[in-house]
Chains A and B, each alone.
Chain A
Amino acid sequence: MTLLDTVLFLPLAGFFLLLIVPKDNPNASRMGALAISIAVFAASLGLIAPYWFAAPAGWHFETNVPWIAFPPIRYHVALDGLSLWLVLLSTLLTPIAVLVSWKHIDRRVKEYYALLILLEFGLIGVFVSLDLFLFYVFWEVSLVPMYFLIGIWGHERRIYAAVKFFLYTMAGSVLMLAAIIYLYNKSGSFDYSEILAQIQSGRLAFDGRAQTLLFLAFFGAFAIKVPLFPFHTWLPDAHVEAPTAGSVMLASVMLKMGAYGLMRYCLPLFPDASRNSAPWVAALAIVGIVYGALVALVQPNMKKLVAYSSVSHLGFVVLGIFSFNQQGFDGAVYQMLNHGVSTGALFMLVGYMYERRHSLEIAAYGGVATPAPNLAAVFLITTLASIGLPMLNNFVGEYLVLQGAAQANFTWVVFAALGVILSACYMLWLYQRAFYGKAAEPVSRSMFDLTPREWAAILPLLALMLWMGAFTQSFLPPISAQNAQILQQTRMPAAKVARFLDRNDAR
């Protein structure tokens, strides 16, 4: 039993623990959830150990035991530079989500926290699974608690949003399941490393059409989750209708499942099809960047604005991935984390404002800076981080993505950079409308400043924005090392090169 197993199963144990907490004692549920999630986070810090002095690629904390004898499905989990920070992001944001919900959630409290902790289990599982089947299981399992979180504790149109969220993800993932089974039938294994080794060595090869279809089956599931334009339409609904913590977990961690899937599965398993589709995917990513930003610009609803800004930011991530170079990959992964930190913070702040004024309409605010200066300051820092101000986290990610994209195709950058400019427009305009000006009576009456609990929830994210912006080297080396390996895997397989050379030699 490695530390990673502990980090993975602690939330599951916590889930069962929270189920037996008496229903009429909501505070016990709250304290329990907080204690469990903090314990998980503390334990997960230990996962950094192998990366402390070095940046080794490859697997750590590996566990590989059989789960089902036939077909051979294994409980195979491990951690690498790609998943390391995503796991930590999940474990960090869960206690924050608990804190954020403290007052906001006042009915069916016990179920709420139990589901939140179950969600953490699913999310960590997705990032550490190395068996395709296990991965699929976690992928689906993470869907269920989020469905309930949105559907029970959301806003007015919550039911529509929850069902749409479930059906979109389900429709995407059933085809991925078909592809996983097909891969198993060809390779005789569900094990990621095994299948990858077979593909790399050329023992398992698909003709162009089969590889394209397999790629599309995986890509479809991930593109919906990212979400990539034009598969994004579930996202604004889900984000707007979800309770604050739901939006935070959805934006900060769940969307990363899609981008992670692209890097972990799509690219290394189907390198040729991935490279061939790069221009198309990049085009969709750029459309998403610009479209998301333009739509965000005209939103009267704060949460919807932040949701569309997510579409735009995730476009950068996909663009970086499909640039197929080191900077693009590094930028994409860094941007995943940045988006998790800064957009998570934005959703929290919007949630704080909603709890005070009970409105998400920008027009209902104005002049908030006067009654709540601390809230305004925190919001400003988060805004600046989100639009990519140097020394703050998003700048690093966006810069790397754009650099990578420029190496791949310079025209991409011209359009993608538009997104950076537009993000400044919509975020600053939002800030101006909500926080500056004279505070109307209902605003000054209702908008009190940050409470200690709210500070406690947001401070870690603020610190990360600065830390990740200024000391990139604390985070980037494990990512880079792993990305170099993934990049290597997406090159032409060595065996194929050898065969190609043989043929030429024979001539």
Chain B
Amino acid sequence: MPANFLPTSAEYLRVLPEIILAVVGTLILLLEAALPDSRKGIFAPLSLAGLLAALAGALAAYGDPGPAFQNMIVVDGFATFFRVLVIGVALLAVLSSSGYLRREGSVGGEFYALLLWSTAGQSIMASAEELIMIFIGLEISSIASYVLAGYLRDDRRNNESALKYFLLGSFATAFLLYGIAWIYGVAGTTNLVEIRRALLNANEPLAFVSTAAALMFVGFAFKISAAPFQSWAPDVYQGAPAPVAAFLTVGPKGAAFAILLRVFFTAFGPIASLWAPLLWAVSLATMTVGNFAAILQSDIKRLLGYSSIAHAGYVLVAVTAHSGAGSAAAMFYLAAYAFTNIGAFAVVTYFSRKGERYTRVDDFAGLAQRQPAMAAMLTIFLLSLIGVPLTGGFFGKFYIFKAALDANLIWLTVLGLLNSAVAAYYYLRILVVMYFREPGESVEHLPPAGPALKAAVYASALGTLILGIFPGWVLDFASKAALH
């Protein structure tokens, strides 16, 4: 075996966050078997510690960027951005689910283990530069997510959600794998940079290349819930436990966007003129379907599910722009959306109470009078989802549509902005109910929020506002790390 096949210690450092996440996840599962029930309270702090260590690991890895394991993994700004994003998302998810699990009487180590493994998979997706690695990361993240969606195994909705997520997710993965097989057949490599080099030589049969790209795009489109492959998303998000739904809308989805950007910008960049028109149509369809369907919803989890489809559409606009600015805008948007959506779902988690009884929009009547602080936080999140200035959501939209106009996508910009005006309607409905309606039965006996959940909500709100007032802090990094 040639010496260069043995990984160096620098290479191990570059996968430090994944190692930490996997080890802590496994440790929790072992402790689960060993510890008595009374000691299970330590899983949440332990996961938090593990995630913080992984966060530090991600930053440490960025201290010495470069490829690892025969270019299967690459640590660059882009990878680090998404690693920090998915680990941050997991941190907030742990904070908002510890109280939830206690409330539902289902505190178990496997929840945290699955969450950490899913995050490890996403972290691999963020840094993979090779199709097999991407596939492995995606599978690790997805399979853990399927189980998380059905975590409360006695709950029918949880089961339905998990099954649906699993079946459609498997379909998507099959498409992706098939696409990988095609491109391997054409280019003779699974490394993204080498695929790019092969395509630039331009003697590859274009029909095969575009078939491969199309198949892979179908796989990605499922994962990011882009139209016309979005139909699973609302069902899954509505059925899954609220904190898990929050995690699913931003963690796996954010990582899926990372690999979409990586594959289409790096590998398929040379044939952008072929896929850009397709993405144009898909992004418009995704925004429109998500927004118009959300208008009709009466369940807040389902509404946020459709809204997450619409937001995927906005990010796709940035991908369509196919530029450094577009990539940076997509990254910024995903960060802003992560804070916003996790925060919004955390308030929903808090409000829904045992068995998630109160998830109808109308149930929120009078929340502002009973729990003004929580209502104010949800207001910040909703304004950010609408895209009102001084929130992260606004700057996200701003950078996306700026990149789109730079790329001369004038009609897509106009239609996208009009879409965001339509979206204002259904987010306002929640505000209306919360502030303008008299309190009903659902807000009687509303207990104050637990400290962990409060921390998640306030941290998310703070993140949303910081991104809205000092967007430069994140955007500068995203711009430097962006793919071209």
Contacts and interface: CB of A to CB of B under 8 A. Distances in A.
A68 B421 contact: no
Given A70-B472, A170-B424, A151 B402 contact: no
A413 interface: no
Interface in B414-452: 414, 417-418, 420-421, 424-425, 428-429, 431-432, 435-436
A178 B413 contact: yes
Contacts of A9: none
B112 interface: no
Interface residues on B, range: 20 to 34
A428 B402 CA distance: 52
B479 interface: yes
Contacts of A182: 405, 410
B272 interface: no
Contact of A178 (B414, B424, B435): B414
Interface in B452-479: 470-472, 475-476, 479
A102 to B, nearest CB: 22
A370 B372 CA distance: 46
Contacts of A163: 425, 428-429, 432
Contacts of B472: 68-70
A459 interface: no
A68 B471 contact: yes
A171 B421 contact: yes
A284 interface: no
Interface in A20-69: 68-69
Interface stretch (A140-148, A269-277, A389-397, A494-502): A140-148
B424 A166 contact: yes
A105 B372 CA distance: 19
Interface in A463-490: none
B417 A175 contact: yes
B436 A177 contact: no
B339 interface: no
Contact of A69 (B401, B410, B413, B476): B476
Nearest to B395: A68
Interface in A175-205: 175, 177-178, 181-182, 184-185
A159 interface: yes
Interface in B377-404: 383, 386, 388-390, 394, 398, 401-402
B406 interface: yes
A185 B383 contact: no
Contact of A70 (B414, B420, B479): B479
Contacts of A141: 388-390
Interface size on A, as a range, is: 20 to 34
Nearest to B325: A71
Query: Interface on chain B toward A: helix, strand, loop, or mixed SS?
Result: helix
B33 to A, nearest CB: 50
A185 B420 CA distance: 21
A178 B389 contact: no
Nearest to A141: B389
A390 B424 CA distance: 46
A143 B432 CA distance: 15
Nearest to A23: B372
B369 interface: yes
A89 to B, nearest CB: 23
B436 A152 contact: yes
B402 A152 contact: no
Given A141-B390, A174-B420, A158 B436 contact: yes
A68 B418 contact: no
A167 interface: yes
Contacts of A144: 383, 388
A108 interface: yes
Contact of B425 (A111, A148, A167): A167
A162 B436 contact: yes
A136 B398 CA distance: 11
A457 interface: no
B389 A159 contact: no
A141 B406 CA distance: 26
B73 to A, nearest CB: 30
Contacts of B470: 68
A162 B389 contact: no
A71 B475 CA distance: 10
B66 to A, nearest CB: 27
Contacts of B389: 136-137, 140-141
Given A70-B476, A140-B388, A185-B405, A108 B369 contact: yes
Nearest to B414: A178
Nearest to B388: A140
A158 B432 CA distance: 10
B234 to A, nearest CB: 23
A182 B130 CA distance: 37
Given A69-B472, A152-B436, A159-B436, A174 B390 contact: no
A71 B476 CA distance: 10
Given A68-B471, A140-B389, A141-B388, A167 B402 contact: no
A171 B418 CA distance: 7
Interface in B334-378: 369, 372
Contacts of A158: 436
Nearest to A184: B402
A159 B420 CA distance: 21
Nearest to B475: A70
Contacts of B428: 147, 163, 166-167
Nearest to A217: B414
Given A152-B435, A159-B436, A170 B405 contact: no
A222 B471 CA distance: 28
Contacts of B431: 147, 151
B432 A159 contact: yes
Contacts of A185: 402, 405-406
B126 to A, nearest CB: 24
Contacts of A175: 414, 417-418
Contacts of A166: 424, 428
B429, B435, B470 interface centre (most CB from chain A within 10 Å): B435
A148 B435 contact: yes
Contacts of B401: 177-178, 181
A131 to B, nearest CB: 12
Interface string B254-289: 000000000000000000000000000000000000
A224 B472 CA distance: 32
Contacts of B398: 177, 181
B24 to A, nearest CB: 37
Nearest to B404: A181
29 contacts: A68-B471, A68-B472, A69-B472, A70-B476, A111-B372, A141-B388, A141-B389, A141-B390, A144-B383, A147-B431, A151-B431, A151-B432, A152-B435, A152-B436, A159-B436, A162-B432, A163-B429, A166-B428, A167-B425, A170-B421, A171-B418, A174-B421, A177-B398, A178-B413, A181-B401, A181-B402, A181-B413, A182-B405, A184-B402
9 nearest A-B pairs in the assembled complex, by CB-CB distance: A174-B417, A137-B389, A171-B421, A151-B436, A69-B472, A181-B402, A140-B389, A170-B421, A68-B472
Interface of A: 68-71, 108, 111, 136-137, 140-141, 143-144, 147-148, 151-152, 158-159, 162-163, 166-167, 170-171, 174-175, 177-178, 181-182, 184-185
Given A69-B472, A167-B421, A174-B420, 8 more contacts: A70-B476, A70-B479, A71-B402, A108-B369, A151-B436, A163-B432, A167-B424, A177-B401
